[in-house]
Amino acid sequence: MGNLVVSGAMITCTFGIAPSALVTIPKGPPVMAGGPPAGTIMDFAPFANVPNFGMCTTPSNPAVAAIIASSLGAVQQGPCVPVTTPWVPGSATVLINNFPALNDSSKCMCSWGGSISVTFAGQATVQVA
């Protein structure tokens, strides 16, 4: 199943140059998981849920393609503007407000070809000796 993902979880994109922090927005009564609100597969809205990843490195992003064209083909970076899909697969056993909970093995895709994944679920387990 994986760990439940909460607001503040660290996420990365294969074409982004910096990590970002997921923002979960409850689609009903908030469900807290160890403090912050838990996420669902529907927490994928660009900027509202998935902030940018600094700069983007893929030429399939029109902003990057324009910069490459204006620099006579030199490899360049451009502004990251994530255009994403819902997270998959999500939890098969936990629903939050009728949507599968987001877990740390879920991924979402950017329209420019990047794969967005969770690198830290936002929760830490502390073991006491």
Beta strands in the chain (DSSP E): 10-13, 20-21, 55-56, 78-79, 95-96, 99-100, 107-109, 115-120
pLDDT at 108 over 80: yes
Question: What are the tens digits of pLDDT across the range 111-128?
Answer: 999 999 999 999 866 555
- β-partners of residue 32 are 37
CATH 1.20.120 fits 1-53+81-123, yes or no: no
Question: What are the tens digits of pLDDT across the range 20-52?
Answer: 999 999 888 888 877 899 999 999 999 999 999
**Rounded Cα–Cα distance for residues 81 and 96 (Å):** 28
The confidence band for 12, taking pLDDT boundaries of 50, 70 and 90, is: very high
Domain ranges, ordered by start, for the chain = 1-53+81-123
pLDDT, mean of residues 100-116: 95
Between the alpha carbon of residue 115 and those of residues 25, 68, 105, the distances in Å are: 21, 22, 12
